């Protein structure tokens, strides 16, 4: 009797695997399972978590004040008292490198969130409605796409410059706006093409046949299944925006003192590369590692969300 019950339980477990195993997983669930087994994702995620911790709580990594400077220590090389040496003003380079993560990463995150929202809305409306709406929004997107992003950012920041008296939040906001005003076009194109494909899928037609309204179809069925390319692109482009911020700061029109960032540190070090290479080395290394981490994360996310690789 008991043996028969055990046999029936084994059969049920083999067929359905229980309630949890029989529950179908979404694309995001399958992608997360793949990401958890990806060494590329784990390494990049660990690096990014450390960088985020540096940006949110720099006091965990250093007790030095990045603005406590002494001209007598100007451009001294690394030592036991200052691991990364001192900059031109005699400030601790290690402390300034740690605190510089906040502004650089903040520019990248805010710009990425902004272009993802604007580009997704524009592409969603163009792809779903089609016709004149698609034609109008596509032409507007092409007009913004025709202007190089870096050139447009230079024009915006040169027209509305910042100085030492400009508040930090306003300086960061100008850089985010300058990069975001032209950076949303690729997201819009990706979203539009994906929405056009998804809106003709069988599950969308089934929802439409069951009486679902346009808003429900768009928000519950189309958008969740069209976001994967946008997520992948946003993950990769975040590192690019960090580099663009450093480029603009290097040119003297991006973030300005008293804002501390890796771009401003590299800009200050360019005149003393031969005499004091440590001033350029450490912020450049942190900038490169940040960009590499986001690119690696984007590659891992792309592989996880690509159904062809499954």
Kindly give the parts of the chain with pLDDT less than 50.
1-22
pLDDT at 307: 57
Contacts of 119 (CB under 8 A, 6+ apart): 184, 185, 186, 187, 188, 190, 191, 230
> How far apart, in whole angstroms, are the C-alpha atoms of residue 238 and residue 150?
15
Structural domains in the chain plus CATH codes? 32-309 (1.10.3720.10)
pLDDT at 12: 47
- Please give the full DSSP string across 188-245, using - where no structure is assigned: HHHHHHHHHHHTTSHHHHHHHHTT--HHHIIIIIIHHHH-HHHHHHHHHHHHHHHHHH
- The H-or-E segment that residue 129 falls in is helix 93-129
Give the rounded distance of the alpha carbon of 240 from its chain centre. 8
pLDDT at 164: 73
Phi–psi pair at 86, nearest 5 degrees: -125, 155
Q: Are 114 and 176 in contact (CB under 8 A)?
A: yes
pLDDT at 109: 93
Of the candidates 170, 190, 175, 185, which has an alpha carbon nearest to the alpha carbon of residue 111?
Answer: 175
pLDDT at 11: 43
Contacts of 161 (CB under 8 A, 6+ apart): 253
Give the tens place of pLDDT for each residue, 128-161.
888 899 999 999 999 999 988 988 999 989 888 8
pLDDT at 250: 87
Tokens 């300005």, residue?
256
Cα dist from 47 to 159, 161, 238, whole Å: 36, 33, 14
Give the tens place of pLDDT for each residue, 19-76.
444 455 566 677 778 788 888 889 999 999 999 999 999 989 988 888 888 888 888 8
pLDDT at 16: 46
> How far apart, in whole angstroms, are the C-alpha atoms of residue 296 and residue 310?
19
pLDDT at 5: 47
- Our separate counts of H helices and E strands in the chain read 15, 0
């Amino acid at each position: 009797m008991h043996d028969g019950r055990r046999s029936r339980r084994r059969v049920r477990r083999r067929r359905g695997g229980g309630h949890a195993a029989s529950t179908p997983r979404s694309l995001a669930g399958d992608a997360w399972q793949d990401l958890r087994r990806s060494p590329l994702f784990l390494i990049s995620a660990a690096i990014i978590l450390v960088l985020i911790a540096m940006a949110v709580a720099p006091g965990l990594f250093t007790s030095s004040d990045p603005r406590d400077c002494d001209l007598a220590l100007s451009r001294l090389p690394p030592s036991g008292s200052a691991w990364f040496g001192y900059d031109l003003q005699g400030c601790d380079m290690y402390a300034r490198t740690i605190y510089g993560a906040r502004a650089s990463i903040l520019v990248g995150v805010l710009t990425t969130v902004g272009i993802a929202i604007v580009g997704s809305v524009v592409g969603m409306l163009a792809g779903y409605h089609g016709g004149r709406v698609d034609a109008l929004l596509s032409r507007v997107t092409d007009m913004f796409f025709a202007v190089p992003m870096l050139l447009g950012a230079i024009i915006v920041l040169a027209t509305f410059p910042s100085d030492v008296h400009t508040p930090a939040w306003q300086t960061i906001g100008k850089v985010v706006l300058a990069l975001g005003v032209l950076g949303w076009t690729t997201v819009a194109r990706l979203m539009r093409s994906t929405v056009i494909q998804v809106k003709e899928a069988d599950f969308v037609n089934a929802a439409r046949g069951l009486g679902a309204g346009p808003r429900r179809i768009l928000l519950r069925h189309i958008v969740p299944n069209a976001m994967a390319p946008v997520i992948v692109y946003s993950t990769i482009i975040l590192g690019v925006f960090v580099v663009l911020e450093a480029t603009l700061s290097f040119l003297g029109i991006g973030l300005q003192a008293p804002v501390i960032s890796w771009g401003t540190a590299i800009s200050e070090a360019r005149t003393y590369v031969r005499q004091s290479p440590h001033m350029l080395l450490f912020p450049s290394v942190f900038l490169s590692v940040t960009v590499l981490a986001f690119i690696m994360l984007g590659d891992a996310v792309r592989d996880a969300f690509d159904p062809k690789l499954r």
